[in-house]
Structure 1
């Protein structure tokens, strides 16, 4: 994960925004008070939230894993 100081970030935020989007990688903006900020693209954020939702629902997650196992064995959900 990339990191930069707040001073560097505020001098050219657009440059860092483009890097975050192009590299599909969050950026940590460090601050003197040790309360850092993470910047990520909306796509990466949406993906993270979707994965958190899936992982937090045990029944749905277990069904998803079972379907993955079946797919790897050549079975479909409609057979």
Structure 2
């Protein structure tokens, strides 16, 4: 993660936004009179929130983990999808 000042963000906003999106890089914006903020792409934010929802529900997380374990142990069957 890169840390830059809020004045640098104001001066180079487009370039910083491009870096955030193209390099999948989160940027910490430091502020002298308050708490820092983090800039990230919408795709990264959505991914982070989805992971948060999965990991915050122990039952859902366990089902996913069990499915991965079954797959890795070869305990699965392949099926063809039916097109309607």
TM-score normalised by structure 2 residue count: 0.85
Q: Where does structure 1 lack aligned partners over 5 or more consecutive residues? A: none
Figure out how many residues of one structure are paired with residues of the other and give that number: 78
Greater than 6 Å deviation, 4+ residue runs? none
Deviation at residue 77 of structure 1 after TM alignment:
6.4
Q: Which residue of 2 aligns with 1:10?
A: 10
Q: Where does structure 2 lack aligned partners over 5 or more consecutive residues? A: 79-84
The structure where helix makes up a greater share of residues is 1
TM-score normalised by structure 1 residue count: 0.90
Taking the TM superposition and a 5 Å limit, the aligned residue runs for 1:1-79 are: 1-76=1-76
The whole-number CA distance in structure 1 between the counterparts of 2:73 and 2:34 is 49
The whole-number CA distance in structure 2 between the counterparts of 1:27 and 1:4 is 7
Which has the larger Rg? Answer: 2
1:20/1:39 contact within 8 Å kept: yes
